[in-house]
């Protein structure tokens, strides 16, 4: 069974008697729902509600947390956390260039998955609902890692990540489905950007969403604009052959589907579909939705 090893990740640890209270007050993730052995998605937002930093957060001991993020944003992320810490009794430190091993499956022949699953420190990546995905930090590089298989898994399940699928500072949590993958706590108290995110949730005004793109020929490069009759509707993210991720205006996609108009990525026609596990739907009245 496939496994992947990522070398471009970092871990930020936050520990101390005030660590949970401090993080609960600034991050989108509801830490009250974060169980031992879980890695849940989340974000630190700008006051205007857009994602400044994305991560996977897990518990580390009785009063500690570890936040896995891209290595290239880790220093800025840590500085921002320190800015918000004020007088909280919480220590913040970074472990750079951490080797992250990801395995999925669970079949008895999946020796790498079995070895990670047996590791008491391995974490369940809760973004995936229909397949067991485990993440382990540290250790040595192994032969046989398949990063393309990991990207294919992410694409197939509609799991977007910054850098590959969207730019930080340019997306709301709803755009990248954090509202559906457990990355936003709608029942927790206030956090930075909470007012904007809650308003989008309660008014149902989220228009940009992650969709799965597929074509009969190889898709063009990540970042290619999606259009209908020359009008932009979204952008391609991660691409693997004839499938990829896209962040697109679902009202405009629905209008194109209703009108039988082709959706294009450059010169390549494609189809866009909602991830099978997602609860959102295309607007019933696309024209009215776009005017709203």
- Confidence check: pLDDT of 34 > 80: yes
pLDDT average, residue stretch 163-191: 97
Instruction: Report d(CA 222, CA 266) in Å as an integer.
Output: 11
The DSSP result for 158-209, as a single string, is T---BTTTB-TTS--GGGGTTTTTT-S-SSS---TTHHHHHHHHHHT---EE
CATH number of residue 241's parent domain: 2.40.30
Range of the domain at 91: 3-162
Instruction: Report d(CA 102, CA 170) in Å as an integer.
Output: 28
Whole-structure pTM value: 0.92
Rg (CA), the chain: 19
Residue 265 lies in a domain: yes
Using alpha carbons, select from 264, 230, 233 the residue that is nearest to residue 248.
233
pLDDT average, residue stretch 135-145: 91
β-strands 231-240, 51-59: how paired?
A: unpaired
Of 68-72, 103-107, 162-166, 281-285, minimum mean pLDDT range: 103-107
pLDDT average, residue stretch 163-171: 97
Question: pLDDT tens digits for 206-227?
Answer: 999 999 999 999 999 999 999 9
Specify the pLDDT at position 108: 38
Same domain, 70 and 156: yes
Q: Is the model more confident about 117 or about 182? A: 182
The DSSP result for 79-106, as a single string, is HHHHHHHTT---EEEEEEEEEEEEEEE-
Same domain, 155 and 229: no
Residue 153 lies in a domain: yes
| 249 — pLDDT class (breaks 50, 70, 90) | very high
Instruction: Report d(CA 174, CA 171) in Å as an integer.
Output: 8
Residue 125 lies in a domain: yes
Same domain, 152 and 214: no
């Amino acid at each position: 069974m496939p496994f992947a090893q990522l070398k471009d990740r970092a871990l930020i640890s936050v520990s101390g008697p005030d660590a949970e209270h401090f993080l609960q007050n600034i991050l989108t993730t509801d830490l009250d729902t974060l169980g031992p052995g879980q890695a849940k998605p989340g974000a630190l937002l700008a006051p205007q509600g857009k994602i400044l930093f994305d991560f996977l957060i897990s518990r580390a001991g009785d009063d500690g947390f570890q936040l896995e993020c891209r290595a290239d944003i880790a220093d800025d992320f840590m500085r921002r956390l320190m800015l918000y810490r004020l007088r909280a009794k919480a220590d913040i430190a970074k472990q750079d260039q951490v080797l992250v091993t990801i395995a999925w499956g669970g079949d008895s022949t999946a020796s790498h998955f079995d070895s990670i699953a047996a590791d008491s420190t391995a974490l369940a990546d809760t973004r995936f609902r229909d397949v067991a995905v485990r993440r382990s930090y540290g250790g040595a590089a192994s032969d046989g890692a398949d990063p393309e298989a990991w990207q294919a898994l992410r694409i197939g399940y509609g799991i977007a990540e910054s850098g590959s699928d969207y730019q930080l500072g340019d997306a709301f949590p709803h755009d990248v489905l954090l509202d559906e993958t457990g990355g936003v706590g709608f029942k927790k108290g206030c956090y930075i950007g909470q007012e904007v995110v809650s308003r989008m949730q309660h008014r149902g005004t989220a228009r940009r969403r992650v969709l799965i793109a597929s074509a009969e020929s190889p898709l063009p490069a990540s970042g290619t604009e999606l259009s209908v009759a020359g009008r932009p509707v979204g952008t391609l993210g991660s691409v693997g052959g004839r499938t990829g991720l896209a962040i697109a205006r679902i009202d405009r996609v629905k209008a194109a589907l209703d009108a039988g108009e082709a959706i294009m990525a450059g010169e390549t026609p494609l189809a866009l579909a909602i991830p099978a596990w997602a609860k959102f739907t295309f607007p019933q009245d696309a024209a009215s939705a776009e005017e709203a």
